[in-house]
Amino acid sequence: MRHFLHETDFKPREIGEVFTLAKSYKQKRGKIAKVLAGQTWALIFSKSSTRTRVSFEVGIHELGGNPLFLNRNDIQLGRGETIEDTARVLSRYVHGLIVRTYDHKDVERLAAAGSVPVINALTDFLHPCQIYADAFTLAERWAGKRGNLLGSLKGRKIAFLGDTACNVANSWVIAANLLGMKIALAGPKGYAPSPSLNKILDAHGMGSGGYQFTTDPIEAVRDADVVYTDVWVSMGKEEETRKRLAALSPYAVTAKIFSAAKPDAYFMHCLPAHAGEEVTQEVLDSPRSIIFDQAENRLHIQKAIMTKLALAAKKAKKAKKSKK
Ligand code: CP
Ligand code: NVA
């Protein structure tokens, strides 16, 4: 069964196909093949969400399917039913699972125990749907109308400031290496990327250390094509709020820091943003801020990802039947 739990679950060539499909979905919007007709895809969420929940629910509907939202605490999972039993039971009813949770291992356990595609809708470790949408947002700008979407990303530099150990930063490190981009991260020492990232880069033949980490924000943004930040207090870290705000304050993306990047650099943020903390309102409102295009593209890219997984599941089912 094909899943989307990590950025590396699609090979670079396939990421190009996902982007091309997302581009065509974006152009056609309502007039598309109903790839999920007759299907129900369940969303199991243990954390809050605006963009991810709504873009998946709308996307499933636009593909002809039925979205089923399940808050973890409304199902028996929240009362101790195992992840494995939940996966086995839901696989008898639905055609795909979209999961937002804390421990990254939980999405892997769901995928291993179930028999339908699983999509990672954010864990403490990774947020791959976000980063595919972000990279697509950049590619559609840099490639222009007819250019090569993936090719347009090659050699570009992204600077990530703030909590550089968070899920969005981790996902960007992997994606940058996968897509031939350069990435520099700036934050305090205690918030540097986890060494486990190097293992992932190694395991996928991307070499280790495929990123630069510095405590100097100006050094990170120098020559950058993109300046990116995320909240300083990710979901699940609320108890550390005071400590984090104090440690991360030198890494706020201000107009001064943004102006140290290339003159045509874009500002990006996965949202929700906390203006006055990780970024100023002035930068959020800048004409080079593309935060709402990123948010919109979650819809188009996730439709493309679901299409790929649904078609792979159909193919696998057919192959299984013909073996019998
Ligand atoms: N960027 C993102 O995943 O937003 P939500 O938490 O609103 O889904
Ligand atoms: N790092 C943030 C991303 C939210 C989309 C969090 O995990 O809360």
Residue-level pLDDT at 85: 98
Q: How far is the CA of 231 from the centre of ligand 2 (A)?
A: 7
Facing residues of 276 across strands?
A: none
Residue-level pLDDT at 194: 87
Residue 34 DSSP symbol: -
Express each pLDDT in 127-140 by its tens digit: 999 999 999 999 99
CA distance 322 to 324: 5
CATH class of 7-126+295-323: alpha beta
Residue-level pLDDT at 208: 60
Residue 238: burial class (beta carbons within 10 Å; 0-12, 13-18, 19+)? exposed
Residue-level pLDDT at 275: 98
Question: How far apart, in Å, are the Cα atoms of 19 and each of 26, 170, 231, 309?
Answer: 10, 21, 27, 14
Q: Is 49 in the pocket of ligand 1 (CB under 6 A)?
A: yes
- Token representation of residue 184: 């520099």
Judge whether 10 and 120 are in contact, CB under 8 Å: no
Express each pLDDT in 229-240 by its tens digit: 999 999 999 999
Ligand minimally distant from the alpha carbon of residue 123: 2
Q: Is 165 in the pocket of ligand 1 (CB under 6 A)?
A: no
Topology at the third CATH level for domain 130-290: Rossmann fold (3.40.50)
φ/ψ of residue 67, rounded to 5: -85, 140
Ligand minimally distant from the alpha carbon of residue 244: 2
Domain with CATH 3.40.50.1370 in the chain: 7-126+295-323, 130-290
Express each pLDDT in 170-184 by its tens digit: 999 999 999 999 999
Residue-level pLDDT at 209: 60
298 part of the active site: yes
Whether the full predicted model's pTM is greater than 0.95, yes or no, is yes
Q: DSSP states of 156-192 as a string?
A: -EEEEES-TTSHHHHHHHHHHHHHT-EEEEE--GGGS
130 part of the active site: yes
Low-confidence ranges of the chain (pLDDT < 70): 207-209
